[in-house]
Amino acid sequence: GDSTDFPPELMGRRDKPVGVKTKKAPNAAEGAGIAVAEHGASAAEAYGFVGFVLTGVMYVVYLVWAYTPEDVLVRLGVTYYPDKYWALAVPCWICVLVLYGAWMYEGVNMMSVRDLDDPDLIAEENGFIGSEADEPDLPGSVPSMRDTPVEEVNRVLFQTKGRRVRTRRVGEKR
């Protein structure tokens, strides 16, 4: 008992979350009298659906405007609309911007990595370099962490069977 007629959720109390309906669960839970929550659509789902529908409607309006001759639009009473030039110019600009964005993304990535001849990319002075044959691990255990030598990587990736690829360590002279 409150002395007001307001429902509990307006008074700052909630017996259950807003938008959640409860119903008796069928089957096994029914006998136990367990209530199961039944959620409605969330705001994000509703906005997403509205956005999806509006996008489709706007696309159809765009196609009608772009492909309908001007005299037909004037006869229908549609007198204020952009020039037909924009029906082609805007999609072209969007395509160019997407291509430019991809090009810029690649350029920024290339600028942020080291040069390919940087010795730190080949071997690190504090790295533990070894292969599976150097120190066998216990059966069933997780293999110990180690850097794979560049020679082994080249052999596996490029199948350099007979050729020996020599790499140098950091600080090692040529």
- The tokens 């080249």 sit on which residue? 154
Q: Compute CA 93 distance to the chain's CA centroid, rounded to the nearest angstrom.
A: 24
In angstroms, the CA 89 to CA 111 distance is: 32
Write out the E strands in 20-161.
20-24, 35-39
More confident residue, 23 or 155: 155
Question: Does residue 89 register a pLDDT over 90?
Answer: yes
Per-residue pLDDT band at 15 (split at 50, 70, 90): low
Region 108-123: mean pLDDT is 80
**What letter represents residue 112's amino acid?**
S
Q: What is the pLDDT of residue 49?
A: 96
Q: What is the pLDDT of residue 123?
A: 67
Whether the CB-CB separation of 39 and 20 falls below 8 Å is answered with yes
Q: What is the pLDDT of residue 117?
A: 74
The token duo for 73 is 């639009």
- pLDDT tens per residue, range 46-84: 999 999 999 999 999 999 999 999 999 899 988 888 889
Q: What is the pLDDT of residue 90?
A: 94
